[in-house]
Structure 1
Amino acid sequence: MRIAVAGTHRAGKSTLIDELSDLLPDYVTVEEPYHQLEEEGYAFAAPPSVDDFEAQLARSIADLDEAPRDVLFDRCPVDFIGYLLAHEDHDAFDLDVWLPRVRSVLRKLDLIVLVGIEQPDRIALSASEDEELRLSVDEQLKELLLTDAHALGVEVLEVEGSPRARAKQVLEHLERSLVP
């Protein structure tokens, strides 16, 4: 199966990917586009610009296009749409231009696991982190994925709890999906 783990920053995505990698040793893990681009020398603005998020969106689409079976993605195109819609310069982003490509590539995913911000929040943030952006992205992702406001048409599993509990929820979902 092709599984993407989505969520705002500092929500527990990478920790869940680590747990799932241990439990699904035959799966390949694809690092999030930010790190891929950074390793290639892409210079991100601080904070990232609309162009920076569009570059990550394009890389995420390319990653899905080239994906093998049995893969875990740290982020997917919907993550970057969430960031772009929450960005202070969101008017510079034309969602309608990207939607056909995103819908097409999302068909290659079997599941998006949404790691949302829990109440109370499990993640301690530093004073330098943008809590408002984090909350806005979380809200955008829930709108995009749970209400399917843009007809993305992908199966979504929202998880909660400890990293181990989240991984268990994913495994149980996979087991149910495999039952004829």
Structure 2
Amino acid sequence: MRIVVSGTHASGKSTLISDFALKHPEYAVLPDPPDFLAYLRALEELGLASLDPAVLERAEQRTLDALSTIDLLVVLPLNSRDHIDVGSDEHLDLRETMNDVLLDLIDDPDVVGDRLTIAELTGTPEVRLAALEELVGAG
């Protein structure tokens, strides 16, 4: 089973991945393709970058290709209940915008297709880990 954990920076992604990997060394940890595209779109939306349309198109195609190879996309959306301390050096507007763009991407059937299972996990790190273990039958 191929699993991708996706979310904006300071969303608990690294914690969930490392906690899961420590308990389940049989899983390999790889980079996440949807984050890359979501950040590109968020940077453009905020006016922080102006991308050549061909670059964005290639990024979109690479994301589609990558997503076609995975079985489960776990998304860690930002919400007010799961408070995560964010350092003062973080770009909060980019964090929020990337989160919104990512949630739009996973709602787009042209991006995720019809075979990909998507799960949005919230809660404490322990709750998220237990939910992921349940999803993959590794509890």
What TM-score comes out, normalization by structure 1 length?
Answer: 0.65
Which residue of 2 is the match for residue 171 of structure 1? 133
Q: 2: CA distance between counterparts of 1:98 and 1:16? A: 26
Query: In the alignment, is the contact (CA less than 8 A) between 2:37 and 2:63 conserved in 1?
Result: no
Displacement after TM superposition at 1:26 (Å): 1.1
Distance 1:150 1:134 in 2: 24
Whole-angstrom CA distance in 1 between matches of 2:14 and 2:136: 19
In structure 1, the gaps of 5 or more residues are 30-72, 176-180
What are the equivalent positions in structure 2 for 1:1-180 lying under 5 Å apart? Answer: 1-29=1-29, 73=30, 75-87=31-43, 88-94=47-53, 95-145=56-106, 147-148=107-108, 150-153=110-113, 154-175=116-137
1:150 Cα deviation (Å)?
Answer: 3.6
Q: What's the offset of the Cα at 1:121?
A: 4.6
- The runs of at least 4 consecutive aligned structure 1 residues that moved more than 4 Å come to none
Change (3 A) 1:84 1:149: farther
Gaps of 5+ in 2: none
For normalisation by structure 2, the TM-score amounts to: 0.82
**Identity score, percent:** 32
Q: Which has the higher contact order (CA 8 A, sep 6+)?
A: 2
Instruction: Give the aligned CA root-mean-square deviation in angstroms.
Output: 2.0
Q: Distance in 1 between matches of 2:52 and 2:35?
A: 14
SS in 1 for 2:111: coil
Count of aligned positions: 131
**1:151/1:138 Cα in 2 relative to 1: closer, same or farther (>3 Å)?**
same
When structure 1 is superposed on structure 2, of 16-25 and 119-128 the one drifting more is 119-128
